[in-house]
Every structure is written in structure tokens, then in C-alpha cells.
Structure 1
Amino acid sequence: MKSRSLTPSAAFAVGSAGIAVFSVMDAVMKGLSLSIGAYNALFWRSFAAIAIAGVLYAVRRPALPSRATMRLHVARGVIGAVLAVLFFWGLARVPMAQAIALAFIAPLIALFLAAVILKERIGRATIGASALAFAGVLTILAGQARAEMGHEALLGAIAVLGSAVCYAFNLILMRAQSQVAGPVEVTFWQNLVVAVTLALAAPWFATVPDPSHVPMLTVSAALSTLSILLLSWAYAHGEASYLAPTEYTAFVWASLLGWLVFRETLSPWTLAGAALIVGGCVIAARIKPIPLKEPIA
């Protein structure tokens, strides 16, 4: 416990760096999704990610996880595969800032899932915060309709919202998983299970990418692994409530990268909707954060 209070500023800086790295990875994956499709981008990237995480994992000479821990790895990996496909499929069809803003609703969904899974109570203030965030989602979708971005953009927004639901459940599993496994172990098994899950659809969807895409697939895997390790270090040295605001810096990075790389503009509707969603999440976080519970077997 002592190490968690030693370097709060450093933890905040490292956490912010982790979010920045993850945002760059999102931009790389959006480009790959536009070029070879979200499924193929994720499927082939997973092999590079397994190699990178596998080396880090093997150096530690780990023992095999227990059956209960493996169930957590498998459950989170399967859900992670679904949410990743949904998110990156949607990200290829909507501006980066809009996708990230919609994804911010995941922590609030996690509160309601915690009520069901962890038997937590939900007060009126939490419901009010959720209503505020939902108003933000509607604001973004209204702006999308006014901009006449087309049917594909609407489907993309729906896919991002679907990924947010999956990510909310993923948060519950992650909190249980963090009690029984370290970040390197989690990263390795997460990538392995994701790859196996995606491989089930390979006969129908997989196509061998052009060799020119291999460097970016490798870069994406490296960025993803680095981000996970940075965030794991940050949350080991700082309180979750103190580090939570770093998550919202992703909107700034998404806006900047979307403009620089994809020439996307930030609409007032997206900005207003993001403010409402973030406001609802901040209010909910102040009420009662999701506590760490016993591992879900």
C-alpha cells in the first residue's frame, strides 16, 4: 500500500502517457481498418501482440494460471474480441473524437452491471448521472443526423455503443482479474484468447494482408502492449479516483489525431455531447466507485 502514495504525480503522468499511446494505437488501427477491415486488422495484429507479450511473459518463467484464473482470462478475452471488432468497425465509419466520446459511457454502464453482478446499490444520484450521460449520447447522435453523415455512420455509432456495453462488462472482469494475475500475465492471455476467438471466424472473414501492412500491424501491437503496461504501472502507484481523469484525455488525443491524420472536424454537437457524458461519469465516480471484489469464478 505504501507504494501507491509515493509518487501520485508520476502515476498521473504515466497514466496520461498510457492513454496517449493507446490513442495513437486507435489511429493506427483506424487506418488499418479502413484498408483491410476491422476483423483482419485485429486478427493479424493479435499474432504480433502474442509474440511481444509472450516474450515478456516467458522471461518471468510463469506457472500456469489456476482454473479459476484461467476462466477469467478466457471470459475477458472473448468479450475483448467482440468489443474490439465492434469498436474498430465503428471507428472506421465515424470520426475518432465522436467514437471516443460515445465510448466514455462505458463506466456508467459498468455501475449498473456492478449492481447486478456485484450486488451494489444504485442511488438516485447515479441514475441522474446516467441520464445526463445518456443525454450526451443523444446529443452526439442528433449532431450526426444533422450532419447527414449517412447510414454507415449511424451503424458505426451503434457499433461503438455496443462495444461500450461489452467494455463495461470487461471492466467488472478486469477488477476481479487484477486480484489474481499481474499485468504481463493478463496481457499475454488476453491477446492469446482474443486471437483464438477471432480465429473461429477466419474461414469466412480472414484474408492474408499485403506485406505493406505488416509494419503497421506490428506497431499497433507494440503500442497496445506498451499502453497496457503503462496503465498497469500507473494504477499500481496511484489511487483509481485520482487517475480516473486521465481517461478523458483520450478525447483530446482523438480530436487531434482525427484532424491531423484523417482530416476530421470536431463538431459542436460532439463537443457538447462529450461534455455531458464526461460530466455524468464524473458525478457518478464521486458518488461511489466500483470497489474491488472477490474474483468471479
Structure 2
Amino acid sequence: MTPPSPPTPTPDAARLRRLRLLGIALMCGAVACFTCIDTTAKYLGRHYDIIEVVWARYVSALVLAFLVFNPLTRPGVLRTRRPLLQIGRSALLLGTTVFNFLALKFLQLDQALAIMFSTPLMVAALAGPMLGERIGPRRWAAIAVGLVGVVLVLQPGFGAVHPAAVLSVLAAACSAFYAIATRVLARFDSDATTLFYSNLLGVLLLTPLVPFVWTTPTDPLHLALMVMFGAFGSLGHYLLIVAHRHTPASVLSPFIYTQLLWVVAAGWLVFGDVPNQWTLAGAAVVIASGLYLVHRERVRRTG
């Protein structure tokens, strides 16, 4: 007896599937752009002071934001209903960038990223006391297990990981508070306003320091990378926004972790780095915990 053929998907179902696949592809492209930022920072950090590298990243992003939003013709971009929160959030982003770029001078890309993957776990833990979100015992257990994964990457007592790993932990902590502040600001200010202030504060704080550490780029590749810094970040965030427009966040969230594949490839191709078993094991635990939190969030919303 001939088995029945599978039902032909309706036009709406086929369109929905295509949009989801497009969103997933855009998400993977976004995390590839973020990998380019870290790879560029690590590469330039070998030739220039970190303050100059971070400054170049913020200046290029600010110039690009100015060209896109042009506050001269759209003065509303500069109006914020929560100026102190904007400043605090921008300072947290600056702290994340500085700590991360400093860590990348000494750590492999995959080591730094595995630790940064703990950011969603920290956000989940902070969402309770800071945003009033209920955190059940299962989510607390997932957070605890994820932090065990971070400990595996850090390898305390074994001396295999550079002490700069602590800087990655600080970067992840700043990033978690930054994410909480971003959630709150989304209720009051536009994305354009928040993005503009994020870059503006970094430039204002770092510019007075740059003359003391400045090294004029003479290599055309170095100069090109400094100019492209902002483009990598802006393109990555644009792809992220478009991806969420086509595909639910619950579907996209797991694909954030594909960044580990990008950084392993970039670390090997650019720096000749190969991840060790502790980094891979710790990253696997952190990713599994993050995916479980995504699952619990999906259950909570549909329950």
C-alpha cells in the first residue's frame, strides 16, 4: 500500500517558513559582524593602546550614526526623557567595551566569548530584583549551572587561563546591567536616541585621553579597520533588528550561540588559536543553560 504523501503547505505557512529562515540567516549574519568587532579589537590591540582602539570604535560608530540619524535636521534624536539613565547605560556599554577589549589582548577569542555568554544568565538573575520579574527555582538552577560553565572556562587553580579572564567577567557583568538599563529605556526613548547617546558618551570621555596614548596608524589595513569598526557594529545591530522583524525572538535566541563557531574560525584563521577542552566544555554548559532559559521563557509566555 502506497503511504500517503505529506500535505502541501499552504501559501501562508510556506511564507512564514521562508521568513523564519530569513530571520535565522540574518541573526547568523549579525553575530558574524559582532565577531568581526572582537577580531578587529584583538588585532589592533597588538599594535595600539586599548584606549585608542576603543576610541576608534566609538568615533567611527558616532560618525555613522550622525550620517544616518542627522540630529541637525532631526533634533528630536537628542531629546531624552531619562538623561541620567542614558548616561548610566552608555557608561555601562563603555565599560563592557573597555573590559572586553582589554581581555582580548591576552585571551583567545573563544575564551572571552564563552565567558561573555554568561551575560543572559546574569540578566535573568538581575531581572527579578531590578525589574520585578518572577524567577522560579528551575531558572535559578539553570543560572547556577551556567555559572559552573563559566568556572570551567576560568579553570581556577589550574593556571591555564590568563588572569585577564577576570576582565571578561567584568565585561559580562557590565553587559548584563547594560541590558537591564536598555529594557527600561525602551519605555521612554527611541532606539535612535539610545544608540546616539551610546556612542556620544564614549567619544566625549575618551577623546581627552587619546593624545596621551596616540600612535598614528601608518599601515593602510590598520586605518581601514579603525574606520570599519563602527560599520561592523551598526550592520550587526541592523541585521539583528530586521531579523526580529521577520522572526519571533524565541526562535532567534538560540542562534546567538552560533557566534562560537565564528570566533573559533576567526581565532584559527587570524591568530592561529585552537580552543582547548576546558573552554569547549564550559561553553557547552553555558550555552545549554542559556537555551534552557530560552525554553522556560517560551513556556512562561505561552502558559
**TM-score of the superposed pair, with normalisation by structure 1:** 0.86
Following superposition, the deviation at residue 63 of structure 1 comes to: 1.5
Whole-angstrom distance in 2 between the partners of 1:56 and 1:95 = 34
Q: Deviations over 1:206-234 (max 9, x none)?
A: 42432433211011221111111111222
Residue 94, structure 1, aligned to residue 103, structure 2? no
Distance 1:71 1:233, change over 3 A: farther
Whole-angstrom distance in 1 between the partners of 2:153 and 2:80 = 43
Give the greater-gyration-radius structure (CA): 2
Following superposition, the deviation at residue 189 of structure 1 comes to: 2.3
Following superposition, the deviation at residue 26 of structure 1 comes to: 1.2
Q: Deviations over 1:6-36 (max 9, x none)?
A: 9222222111111111111211111111211
Residue pair 1:104, 1:277 contacting (<8 A) in 2 also? yes
In structure 2, what is the equivalent of residue 237 of structure 1? 246
Quick one: which of 100, 103, 106 aligns to 2:116?
103
Quick one: which of 81, 104, 111 aligns to 1:68?
81
Q: Deviations over 1:116-156 (max 9, x none)?
A: 211122221112111211111111122x864745xxx22x2
Following superposition, the deviation at residue 242 of structure 1 comes to: 1.2
In structure 2, what is the equivalent of residue 15 of structure 1? 27
- Indicate the larger mover: 206-215 or 27-36: 206-215
Residue 116, structure 1, aligned to residue 125, structure 2? no
Q: Deviations over 1:65-103 (max 9, x none)?
A: 444244443222111111100011001111101110110
Whole-angstrom distance in 2 between the partners of 1:179 and 1:226 = 24
Distance 1:66 1:45, change over 3 A: closer
Partner SS, residue 113 of structure 2 = helix
Count of aligned pairs between the two proteins: 280
In structure 1, what is the equivalent of residue 204 of structure 2? 196
In structure 1, what is the equivalent of residue 4 of structure 2? none
Following superposition, the deviation at residue 62 of structure 1 comes to: 4.8
Following superposition, the deviation at residue 186 of structure 1 comes to: 3.3
Quick one: which of 144, 156, 163 aligns to 1:131?
144
- Indicate the larger mover: 59-68 or 13-22: 59-68
Residue pair 1:110, 1:171 contacting (<8 A) in 2 also? yes
1:1-297 equivalent positions in 2, closer than 5 A: 7-58=19-70, 61-142=74-155, 146=158, 148-149=160-161, 153-154=162-163, 156-199=164-207, 201-202=209-210, 206-212=213-219, 213-288=222-297
Unmatched segments (≥5 aa) in structure 1: 292-297
Partner SS, residue 36 of structure 1 = coil
Q: Please tell me the residue identity of whatever aligns with 2:102.
A: W
In structure 2, what is the equivalent of residue 295 of structure 1? none
Whole-angstrom distance in 1 between the partners of 2:66 and 2:125 = 35
In structure 1, what is the equivalent of residue 9 of structure 2? none
Distance 1:124 1:268, change over 3 A: same
Q: CA RMSD in A?
A: 2.3
Q: Please tell me the residue identity of whatever aligns with 1:107.
A: P
**Identical aligned residues as a percent:** 26
Q: Which has the bigger relative contact order, CA under 8 A and spacing at least 6?
A: 1
Partner SS, residue 46 of structure 2 = helix
Residue pair 2:56, 2:229 contacting (<8 A) in 1 also? no
Residue pair 2:120, 2:176 contacting (<8 A) in 1 also? yes
Q: Please tell me the residue identity of whatever aligns with 1:256.
A: A
Following superposition, the deviation at residue 164 of structure 1 comes to: 0.2
Whole-angstrom distance in 2 between the partners of 1:93 and 1:73 = 31
